[in-house]
């Protein structure tokens, strides 16, 4: 789709030439035997950078979340998350299917939970109640438009959760975007969760791969669950080599994507009938309700004019900036958008 300006997602990013070189030259071994030196190095660096004792390379963010939830729960328990969480809407009910847990949601305007709202959803101990064992937070929050937690808020959730015997899992698919926006190291966020998943693909550009990090005992169990799910890979240092570059260098340039998102938000927001969510990280929700048009129709017309943007509801489109989209591409996308809605 390279002839298009692709704002559908940061999952579309392609590996950089440096990644491709590193992949070609990667030292590899059988990772199920833990003999792949590149994977071992990636897991060690990932743990250091995110500030956890252990880390596991998994093929996808979805598998990382699935296992993260599994290691923190038992069948028949409840998991609290925001009502638009990725684990709820986009991961094929794996919390139910694999962990046997019920998801109990909290409605929020911005995807961001706080202790006050969480505690009202915790099931009191009693003969009719399934225990709440986990709180899941998404940082940044995808479907709320790239919103982020404050460390203070997360710290309160984490501390109060632990006082109540409840664990916290962070879906940090885009934790480095959140950290860039907050001007903090990602480990400050990760310190407020028992386990954290983050993606090396998406905005960091690796072709595949995510990390699940946490305490050594949880990660040792996670390794078995990864195998159960068919995620025990062999000479996968080929992918980990790209992951190392994602982690060490691509995290440093996310500010550019955020600046492009701010540009898009400002420019699209000036078009008649268009309202855009605040540009906090790299994800925008573009509401076209007042144009009288429908999002799927606008998405199709944009595509015909060379711009890809998915609809995310009847009158909302999602625009995601990433390193395969330049400022010039964003300028062009705004012009096309203006023409299309007129
Ligand atoms: N998000 C994708 C789609 O699945 C919606 C996207 O285009 O944004 N957590 C969060 C917060 C995510 O946004 C995603 C992917 C995942 C987990 C899952 O990662 P993968 O796709 O690697 O399984």
pLDDT value of position 255: 98
Q: 125: pLDDT confidence band, cut at 50, 70 and 90?
A: confident
By C-alpha distance, which of 196, 191, 225, 201 is closest to 213?
A: 196
Question: What is the tens place of the pLDDT at every residue in 247-296?
Answer: 999 999 999 999 999 999 999 999 999 999 999 999 999 999 999 999 99
Ligand 1, atom 8: closest residue by C-alpha: 9
CATH 3.90.1150.10 occupies which residues in the chain? 253-341
Residue 115 Cα to ligand 1 midpoint, Å, equals 25
φ and ψ at 214, to 5 degrees? 170, -160
Question: What is the tens place of the pLDDT at every residue in 240-258?
Answer: 999 999 999 999 999 999 9
Residue 124 Cα to ligand 1 midpoint, Å, equals 32
Mean pLDDT of 34-50: 98
Which residue among 61, 143, 175, 316 has the greatest number of ligand 1 atoms within 8 angstroms of its CB, and so is best to mutate?
61
pLDDT value of position 243: 98
Give the residues across from 213 on adjacent strands: 55, 196
* Helices 254-269, 175-182: crossing angle, 10 deg rounding: 80
Ligand 1 pocket residue status of 6, Cβ below 6 Å: no
CATH code at 253-341: 3.90.1150.10
pLDDT value of position 62: 98
pLDDT value of position 2: 63
pLDDT value of position 124: 85
CATH 3.40.640.10 occupies which residues in the chain? 17-251
Ligand 1 pocket residue status of 61, Cβ below 6 Å: yes
- Alpha-carbon torsion, ordered 186, 153, 210, 310, to 10 deg: -110
Check whether 89 has a pLDDT greater than 70: yes
Mean pLDDT of 197-206: 97
Ligand 1 pocket residue status of 13, Cβ below 6 Å: no
Ligand 1 pocket residue status of 90, Cβ below 6 Å: yes
Question: Which residues contact residue 77 at a Cβ distance below 8 angstroms, ignoring those fewer than 6 apart?
Answer: 101, 102, 130, 131, 132, 133, 134
Ligand 1 pocket residue status of 178, Cβ below 6 Å: no
Strand 210-214: give its sheet, edge to edge: 54-58, 210-214, 195-199, 167-171, 132-138, 78-82, 102-106
Ligand 1 pocket residue status of 199, Cβ below 6 Å: yes
Which residue among 6, 199, 320 has the greatest number of ligand 1 atoms within 8 angstroms of its CB, and so is best to mutate?
199
Average pLDDT over the chain reads 97
Ligand 1 pocket residue status of 11, Cβ below 6 Å: yes
Mean pLDDT of 37-45: 98
Check whether 1 has a pLDDT greater than 60: no
| Alpha-carbon span 67 to 204, nearest angstrom | 22
pLDDT value of position 221: 98
Residue 125 Cα to ligand 1 midpoint, Å, equals 34
Check whether 122 has a pLDDT greater than 90: yes
pLDDT value of position 118: 98
Question: What is the tens place of the pLDDT at every residue in 297-319?
Answer: 999 999 999 999 999 999 999 99
CATH code at 17-251: 3.40.640.10
By C-alpha distance, which of 320, 73, 112 is closest to 203?
A: 320
Which residue among 10, 58, 62 has the greatest number of ligand 1 atoms within 8 angstroms of its CB, and so is best to mutate?
62
Mean pLDDT of 24-43: 98
Residue 139 Cα to ligand 1 midpoint, Å, equals 12
Ligand 1 pocket residue status of 226, Cβ below 6 Å: no
């Amino acid at each position: 789709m390279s002839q298009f300006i692709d704002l559908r997602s940061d999952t579309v990013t392609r590996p950089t030439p440096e990644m491709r070189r590193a992949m070609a030259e990667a030292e590899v071994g059988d990772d199920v035997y833990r003999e792949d030196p590149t994977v071992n190095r990636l897991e060690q660096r990932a743990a250091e950078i995110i500030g956890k004792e252990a880390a596991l390379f998994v093929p996808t963010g979805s598998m990382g979340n699935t296992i993260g939830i599994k290691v923190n729960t038992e069948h028949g328990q409840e998991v609290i998350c925001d009502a638009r969480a990725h684990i709820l809407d986009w991961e094929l009910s794996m919390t139910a299917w694999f962990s046997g847990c019920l998801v109990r949601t909290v409605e929020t305007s911005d995807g961001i939970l706080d202790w006050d709202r969480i505690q009202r959803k915790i099931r009191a101990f009693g003969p009719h109640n399934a225990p709440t064992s986990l709180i899941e937070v998404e940082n940044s929050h995808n479907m709320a438009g790239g919103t982020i937690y404050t460390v203070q808020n997360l710290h309160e959730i984490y501390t109060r959760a632990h006082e109540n015997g409840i664990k916290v899992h962070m879906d940090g698919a885009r934790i480095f975007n959140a950290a860039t926006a907050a001007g903090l190291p990602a480990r400050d966020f990760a310190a407020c969760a028992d386990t954290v998943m983050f993606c090396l693909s998406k905005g960091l550009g690796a072709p595949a791969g995510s990390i699940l990090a946490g305490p050594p005992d949880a990660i040792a169990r996670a390794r078995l669950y990864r195998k159960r799910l068919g995620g025990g890979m062999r000479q996968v240092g080929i992918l980990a080599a790209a992951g190392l570059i994602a982690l060490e260098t691509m995290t440093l340039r996310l500010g550019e994507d955020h600046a492009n998102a701010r540009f898009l938000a400002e420019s699209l927001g000036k078009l008649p009938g268009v309202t855009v969510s605040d540009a906090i990280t790299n994800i925008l929700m573009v509401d076209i309700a007042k144009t009288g048009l429908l999002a799927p129709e606008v998405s199709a017309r944009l595509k015909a004019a060379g711009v890809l943007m998915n609809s995310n509801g009847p009158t909302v489109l999602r625009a995601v900036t990433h390193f395969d989209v330049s400022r010039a591409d964003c300028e062009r996308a705004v012009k096309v958008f203006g023409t299309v809605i007129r």
